[in-house]
Structure 1
Amino acid sequence: MAKVNGKYETIFIVNPNLGEEAITAIVEKFKALIADNGTVVSVDDWGKRRMAYEINDLREGYYTLIEFESLPSFPAELDRVYKITDGVMRSIIVCKD
């Protein structure tokens, strides 16, 4: 039986103090990682936003929302890469199915 792709969306917040080039590089890294392991449905750069509460003494973060389809095993790997990537302050992956 063939594995069925699931529909997911992920939001991650990048430290805005890294500078525009570093933020773009991190966003591109995750777009490429998701594309390599599934299908990117849409990417929505929300840009710099004020956060509800401080994280690491910062009041703002750079938000990116990506909707994608992948095998059910991939979100765990994506989460692992978020956790080891410098500059990613918070992330969440949600199954939309």
Structure 2
Amino acid sequence: MREYETMYILDPGLDEEAINGLVDKFKALVEERGGEVKEIDRWGKRKLAYPIKHQKEGYYVVMNFATDAETAREMERVFRITPAVLRHIVIRKDK
């Protein structure tokens, strides 16, 4: 398994319950496929450098996890099809 880090920005108009649901969904995606979530860091609402989908703010979340490459690709696919995700990035950490 390889180490990955992902940062995603959620729609700031979501309520706390919806945000928690999405964070849990992405965490479960890794764990169901045999991966391990090491840390989830919620940065909260921050101002964006430029508007994304007519939003000036976003809810930032950083997640560190260990999994295989196939799960990382699946995570990117799920981010792309989730309308509440404004932006995302998944990077592999080098040792």
Q: Shorter-normalised TM-score: what interval?
A: over 0.9
Gaps in structure 2 of 5+ consecutive residues: none
Instruction: Determine which of 5, 10, 29 is the counterpart of 1:14.
Output: 10
Residue correspondence of structure 1 range 21-32 to structure 2 within 5 A: 21-32=17-28
Equivalents in 2 of 1:47, 1:62: separation in Å?
5
Matches within 5 A, 1:57-96: 57-96=54-93
Aligned-pair identity in percent equals 44
Query: For the residues of structure 1 that align with 2:19 and 2:93, how far apart are their CA atoms?
Result: 26
SS of residue matched to 1:81: helix
CA distance in structure 2 between the aligned counterparts of 1:80 and 1:96, rounded to whole angstroms: 19
Structure 1 stretches of 5 or more lacking a match? Answer: none
Q: CA deviation at 1:86?
A: 2.0
Q: What is the CA–CA distance in structure 2 between the aligned matches of 1:14 and 1:33, rounded to whole Å?
A: 17
Distance 2:55 2:40 in 1: 24
Mapped to 1, the partners of 2:2 and 2:13 lie a distance apart of: 34
TM-score, length basis structure 2: 0.92
Q: How many residue pairs were aligned? A: 93
Decide which structure has the larger Cα Rg and report it.
1
The ranges of structure 1 where at least 4 consecutive aligned residues each deviate by more than 3 angstroms after the TM superposition are: none
Give deviations 1:41-94, integer Å, cap 9, x for gaps: 111011111111110111100010000000122111100011111201110000
Q: Aligned partner of 2:29: which letter?
A: L
